[in-house]
Amino acid sequence: MSSRIKIIDNLSNSTLYEFSMEDADRAYEKSEELEEMGLDIKLIIPSVSETLIKSLGANADKIEKLKEMMDEEIASHIEEEGSCSICLPDGKIHQ
């Protein structure tokens, strides 16, 4: 199973473009072009962990669970006292 970079329209939640991981530069360029045109989009690039579990046959529920676990782990490093990263001024995690 291959992982693809996707450009999603936030209004319709439809996939506008897909790129291979090798074409990441083209995906960034296209997303900038679309934003300059005024489109509200998001660029989705699968993480290494997501690519790995997909290749091992994980279903959508398992992938979502992995994303949640990773978000919680990152949040704990930001929010806990003596964490290894610098907190943002408003104390919130920005994605």
7-64 tens-digit pLDDT: 999 999 999 999 999 999 999 999 999 999 999 999 999 888 888 998 899 998 998 8
The more confidently predicted of residues 1 and 47 is 47
Predicted local distance difference test score (pLDDT) of residue 51? 86
Asked if residue 56 and residue 32 are part of one domain, the reply reads no
Directed axis angle between helix 60-79 and helix 48-55, to 10°? Answer: 150
Rounded Cα distance, 14 and 11, in Å: 8
* DSSP conformation letters of 17-73: EEEEGGGHHHHHHHHHHHHHTT--EEEE---HHHHHHHHTT--HHHHHHHHHHHHHH
Residue-level pLDDT at 78: 72
Count the domains in the chain: 2
How far is the first Cα of the chain from the last one, in angstroms, to the nearest whole number?
A: 26
Q: What is the pTM of this model?
A: 0.65
What is residue 38's predicted lDDT score, i.e. its pLDDT?
96
Beta bridge partners of 35: none
Residues 35 and 18 in one domain: yes
Res. 1 pLDDT band, cuts 50 70 90 = very low
Sheet holding 4-9, edge to edge: 15-20, 4-9, 41-44
Q: How confident is the model at residue 83 (pLDDT cuts 50, 70, 90)?
A: low
Shared domain check, 2 and 41: yes
Residues 33 and 56 in one domain: no
Residue 58 domain boundaries: 47-95
Residue 36: the pLDDT is 97
Taking CA atoms, 3 is separated from 46, 65, 78, 94, in Å, by 7, 18, 29, 24
